[in-house]
Amino acid sequence: MTDAAIAAAVEAVRAADVVTVLTGAGMSAESGVPTFRDVATGVWAKYDPMTVATPEAWEADPALVWAWYQRRRALVQAVQPNAGHHALARWASRADVGVVTQNVDDLHERAGSSDVIHLHGSLFACRCDMCERPHSVAVIDPDGDRLTPPECECGGQVRPGVVWFGEELPHNAFAEATARATGCDVFVLVGTSGVVYPAAGLAHTARDAGATVIEINPQETELSEVCDITIRSTAATALPAIAGTASG
């Protein structure tokens, strides 16, 4: 079953001029970064997103939020890109393959992908919560639950450069991702549950524009029904199998 799906995917990408890949937390799972919604190990199984990933949480307790994101930065910094990230980077170096990610880690870049579109921002791109000036921040793995965020010259506080619940996606990133979804021949979903919009809507956008939609995910998702090909395997297994044989 998986072999047949991979063969169908290989055929689809061989015939494609333009490929767009949308990645989610499952892309980095085999690197050791927990996903959000896994019932046992998921980030949101341990933490209520409302207490760490909303503007209200930041307003109420910035030190708690800052410590939480510093811990996530430290975790990401300590792991490595997996075979899926590497396969995608090599594939994009020889074909028109664009990467759009919901992930806030930097594992695509560290595997060699350039021009990655980050729909939900980045753990490593902090900015002032008042004047929006960018700040680079040293990664510290905090001992306790709270860590005071650095101060900006303007008197504001430095906040994580990620998109929180209730915030809008970066306008340019979403516009570019929509153009990539509309203009591709094949749209590949990797490791996303497809429940967070507007990112998940890109699969519908691609499908409506005529692309063949492929899903790589060990589990069925909310988006499985809009997919032409579903590969029930992991990112680190399926991406090398597809990308390694695709001419583009």
Which of these ranges, 12-20, 21-29, 58-66, 140-148, lies near ligand OAD under the rule CB under 6 A? 21-29
Beta strands across the sheet bearing 158-162: 134-135, 121-128, 158-162
**Given 120, 135, 171, 204, the catalytic residue:** 120
Q: Does 97 bind ligand OAD (CB under 6 A)?
A: no
Angle at 171 between CA 169 and CA 172, to 5 degrees: 125
Angle at 66 between CA 62 and CA 67, to 5 degrees: 120
Annotated catalytic residue 135: no
Side-chain-facing half-sphere of 43: CA atoms under 13 Å: 18
Q: Does 192 bind ligand OAD (CB under 6 A)?
A: yes
List the x/- string, 30-69, binding to ligand OAD by CB under 6 A.
x----xxx----x----------x----------------
Choose, by CB under 6 A, the member of 102, 122, 212, 230 that binds ligand OAD: 102
- 3-state DSSP percent of the chain in helix, strand and coil, to 5: 40, 20, 45
Other C-beta atoms lying within 10 Å of the C-beta of residue 80: 11
* Segment holding 134, helix H or strand E: strand 134-135
Size of the site for ligand OAD (CB under 6 A): 24
| Measured distance CA(158)–CA(147) in Å, rounded | 12
List the x/- string, 153-182, binding to ligand OAD by CB under 6 A.
----------x-------------------
- The residue (of 69 and 152) whose beta carbon lies closer to ligand OAD is 69
* Contact residues: ligand OAD, CB under 6 A: 24-26, 29-30, 35-37, 42, 53, 102, 120, 163, 191-193, 196, 216-219, 221, 234-235
